[in-house]
Structure 1
């Protein structure tokens, strides 16, 4: 393998027949900011045409996979909105949706290595990966509704993986799933007892991929993509869905409950709409 990348939010490791990308913002549980979106987009564009790349592994640093969107970006978008950019939140949300599509359409086998927190946008990566391997201690969720937001860009991808009825349950309750529940739903493919066992599962998958023809992997992936909602023939429809989802997110943040949900999260309190639990 050839190529060198130097990024602010990513670590890139050469696997000889592919790459491992580590989301490297451990101080915020690898939350996705705009820099990370741009760097992932750049990296994936760089390997897109490399016929020698058979696999891409994505993982998180510091014992967590990804906590979803970065609040710092939300605050910056709020400033941009107040300064006269009515689409600041929309563009932020749409850029992530387009990144998910790019990741899902990669012509190599993709593996998500899940540990710790797997929330929101992080769950999106897990849903579109070809293979998702999960530590038993992980917690997975679509928490957006509890923050006053819709799970705008990830909902269609989660629905494609586990079905609409189960996605409704997850999206409309914002409840956290333990790894065994996520496995039962098909959201993750295998569970490991600890980090060492998780790496063993990964190595087993990598050993299998090494036996597969690079050209066959690319043609097979292309065939499978064409059988899905990610088909290139549905590109206009997909872009419309991403845009409508971003519009819904933009509305929630500018005229809905998003600001209160975000403030409550940052202040570590319940939002005003939360009803105390009954025991």
Structure 2
């Protein structure tokens, strides 16, 4: 176990990694991001581990990035000559996405509930995604005045250019059936049937020889490596946006459950 925010449970040659903060719908806190990254580094060296299941504590997969550590920076420009601590903080999540994609093990995301923003990005890194019908997938960042910077390459690689543009530029949300139709979800199961479906899927996956599967993943990773590494540029863009006026007004409106100022009005 890597702290209370991130749980690791080993059963034979399978590990279950749980994003564990139900009070925030498993928002990606600094502790959770560190736990994920450390688990990836350990797993990359573990030749006895064959499958990783990534899931969330009951109620959600993940509500996305936690703004708790960013709160004081929202709408606040940097002082002249000041280095921005938001850049390395945001880049760390980019490091997690790259590390989780580089796992030699099969990565299964088991989704039951919302997978938003950064949680959506984690789902895009999976080799297989199982979701319940009550799950919801969304990338709402642009509606809040923020770019979905670190997750953008992974959404693009998973869904292709046209669908990625719908997700990232419009801040769209997808019900589980819609997520399966765009190939974000591989397997759709009834509510409360996730654990049983997961057991069946893992049994099938264990038929793959460990060495052959790891080699195949490495070959696929070489294709992914052909895409530009945007971690630093994405972190800079996110930090600048968070300190800008759009994020300040967008996040304030969201907290008050009001439309953002650029969203227009329904009044005729």
Please classify the TM superposition score into its range, dividing by the shorter chain length: over 0.9
- Structure 2 regions of 5+ residues with no counterpart? none
Displacement of 1:78 in angstroms is: 4.9
Pick closer, same or farther for the CA change 1:79–1:8 going to 2, 3 Å: farther
Q: Which residue of 1 aligns with 2:250?
A: 261
CA contact (8 A) 1:54 1:209 kept: no
- SS of the residue corresponding to residue 243 of structure 2 reads helix
CA RMSD in angstroms comes to 2.1
Q: Find the aligned partners of 1:179 and 1:85 in 2 and give their Cα distance.
A: 44
Cross-structure match for 2:216: 220
Q: Contact 1:55/1:110 (CA < 8 Å) preserved in 2?
A: yes
Residue 144, structure 1, aligned to residue 141, structure 2: yes
How far did 1:62 drift?
2.0
Residue 200 of structure 2 corresponds to which residue in structure 1?
A: 204
Match of 1:109 in 2: 106
Displacement of 1:194: 0.9
CA-CA distance at 1:45 after TM superposition: 1.2
Match of 2:60 among 53, 57, 64: 64
Contact 2:28 2:66 (8 Å CA) reproduced:
yes
Give the alignment partner of residue 54 of structure 1, picking from 50, 56, 69.
50
Counterpart in 2 of 1:168? 165
1:186 is paired with a residue of what secondary structure? coil
Q: Cα distance 1:99–1:81, how it changes in 2: closer, same or farther (>3 A)?
A: farther
The partner residue of 1:243 within 223, 226, 232 is 232
May I ask how many residue pairs the two structures share in their alignment? 267
Structure 1 equivalent of residue 130 of structure 2: 133
Q: Is the 8 A contact 2:145 2:247 kept in 1?
A: yes
Offset of 1:216 from its aligned partner? Answer: 1.8
Please identify runs of 4+ aligned residues in structure 1 that moved more than 6 A: 79-84
Task: Name which of structure 1's ranges 205-214 and 133-142 shifts more when overlaid on structure 2.
Answer: 205-214
Structure 2: distance between partners of 1:85 and 1:188: 43
Q: How far apart in 2 are the matches of 1:6 and 1:118?
A: 22
Report the counterpart of residue 177 of structure 1 in structure 2: 174
Are 1:252 and 2:234 counterparts? no
Change (3 A) 1:254 1:77: closer
State which drifts further: 268-277 or 13-22: 268-277
Shift of 1:85: 4.9
In the superposition, the TM-score normalised over structure 2's length comes to: 0.93
**Structure 2 vs 1, CA of residues 208 and 251 (structure 1 numbering), >3 Å: closer, same or farther?**
same
Q: TM-score, normalised by structure 1?
A: 0.89
Tell me, which stretches of 5 or more residues in structure 1 are unaligned?
none
Q: Distance in 1 between matches of 2:145 and 2:76?
A: 20
- Tell me if structure 1 keeps the 8 A contact 2:149–2:235: yes
Equivalents in 2 of 1:6, 1:226: separation in Å? Answer: 30
1:21 alignment partner, one of 1, 17, 20: 17
In structure 1, C-alpha distance between the alignment counterparts of 2:199 and 2:215, rounded to whole Å:
23
Distance in structure 1 (CA, Å) of the matches to 2:144 and 2:261: 11
